[in-house]
Amino acid sequence: MTDEHRPKKKRNRRPNPHAEDGFCLTRPTYKGRNGKKSKSPHWHVRFKDQAGVWRRLTAFTDRSATVAFARKLRQLTDLRAADKAPQDELARWVDGLADDHRRKLIAWGVLDQRASMATIPLSEHINDWLRSVLADGPTTKHVNGLRTKVERLIADCGITRFSDIDELAVQAQLASQSLSRQTKNHYITAVRQFTTWMTRHGRASSSPVSGLKKGNAQADRRYERRSLTIEELRMLIQAAERGSDYLKTTGRERGLIYAFAATTGLRAAEIKSLTCGSFDLDNLSVTVEAKSSKRRRKDVVPLTADVAARLRAHLAAKLPTASAFNLPEKTAKMMRVDLAAANIPYRDERGKVVDFHSLRVSFITNLARSGVHPRVAQTLARHSSVDLTMNVYSEVRGDDQRAALASLPKLSAAG
């Protein structure tokens, strides 16, 4: 019998154990340089995409890992066919795909263009995020602070791409740092803001640190400010006025700045933003523009009559567009010079310190000591809640408590 009449041998194909799952695994044979045939060390996955076209991807040397990979692919194609986006665990799996797999799945339409964002360097995502934040109005200093926190945390964790961001790794890294709880909370806020922006703008399927919680900053305060008494404020202002120039700020101007901050509660950045045109001295008010206000709202702040009189003389020779004050960048260092001249300790026996922001604390504390209603004090402090005004910024002193007790009626029997 000739070969052409010889019946062909039937190949015994093994049944596909994954037929019901819609994929099959193969290990292709290839011919090496020596001419010998060998099986590929990697398993290949054959599956139908959302359009019913057979596709093939090189997977892993481990069969069980390849099976798990194939099942994820089938979930993706089913969702794509239903025009739905992957969620939760599957979304995180997509973010962690190898670049080669991602490129092919995007080319086949299994993944949408959102998945291509994961191939962009993390630094570019951060730059885009910060440009978006800056466009909303925050100061450059605030944006640079966000950049420093996110980039430092990412570098410390050894993260090179967005899919590498891991909540437990970030938490462990923060725990290993000798930072106050409040500072760690600032880091958490920054990284959560970044990852939320990524998901909101379609650059990631979900935030990998959505479960990262802040700690109780009050239980671990390492830098606590105190308020200044009225007498200490007078001493500070007088010492500044008698002092010599600090950088380009005269002693007289420093004294006015301290009096202005202690009677308005304005922050250093807000004071720096003011121009001569910000003041309406006839109506005893100053306007802080929304872009300079911490709460991003335009604020009209009242002035006391005595400070307004001093401001009138200070601003008289300046143009409306000129800066109202020549306030140095390092306000804390400037103030320590005048504190020393006034013989006021920078740190008291309780460990509390006095810096420029203490003038704001003093403003709110003195409102409370004067019997101002908490709701009015909240409005003057421009706080979002009365609790913040009363619990954080209003300092209760020992003499306040004694005065309160003295106001109670006497309970001793007459005679």
Instruction: Find out whether 324 and 257 touch, Cβ atoms under 8 Å.
Output: no
Residue 360, judged by CB atoms within 10 A of its CB (0-12, 13-18, 19+), counts as buried
In a domain, 207, yes or no: yes
Residue 96, judged by CB atoms within 10 A of its CB (0-12, 13-18, 19+), counts as middle
Q: How many domains does the chain have?
A: 3
Tokens of residue 78, six digits: 């089913």
3-state SS class at 6: coil
Is there a single domain that holds both residue 247 and residue 379?
A: yes
Distance CA 86, CA 106 (A): 14
Domain end call among 79, 113, 147: 113
Distance CA 314, CA 240 (A): 16
Single-letter residue type at 48: K
What DSSP designation does 49 have? -
In a domain, 277, yes or no: yes
In a domain, 269, yes or no: yes
Is there a single domain that holds both residue 95 and residue 134?
A: no
Is there a single domain that holds both residue 209 and residue 241?
A: no
Give me the residue label for tokens 């041998």.
9
Total Cβ atoms within 10 A of residue 149: 19
Q: Which residues are CB-neighbours of 180 under 8 A, at least 6 positions away?
A: 217, 220, 221, 222, 223
Instruction: Find out whether 17 and 26 touch, Cβ atoms under 8 Å.
Output: no
Domain end call among 194, 219, 244: 219
Tokens of residue 166, six digits: 């891991």
Q: Tens digit of pLDDT for each residue in 358-381?
A: 999 888 888 888 787 888 878 887
In a domain, 406, yes or no: no
Is there a single domain that holds both residue 197 and residue 260?
A: no
**How much is the pLDDT for 381?**
78
**How much is the pLDDT for 3?**
54
Low-confidence ranges of the chain (pLDDT < 50): 401, 404-405, 415
**How much is the pLDDT for 222?**
62
CATH number of the domain enclosing 197 = 1.10.150.130
Is there a single domain that holds both residue 193 and residue 283?
A: no
> β-strand 54-58 against 29-31: which pairing, if any?
unpaired
Is there a single domain that holds both residue 321 and residue 195?
A: no
Structural domain including 142 reads 122-219
In a domain, 411, yes or no: no
Is there a single domain that holds both residue 95 and residue 137?
A: no
Is there a single domain that holds both residue 337 and residue 242?
A: yes
In a domain, 99, yes or no: yes
List the beta bridge partners of residue 353: 225, 347
Is there a single domain that holds both residue 95 and residue 189?
A: no
In a domain, 404, yes or no: no
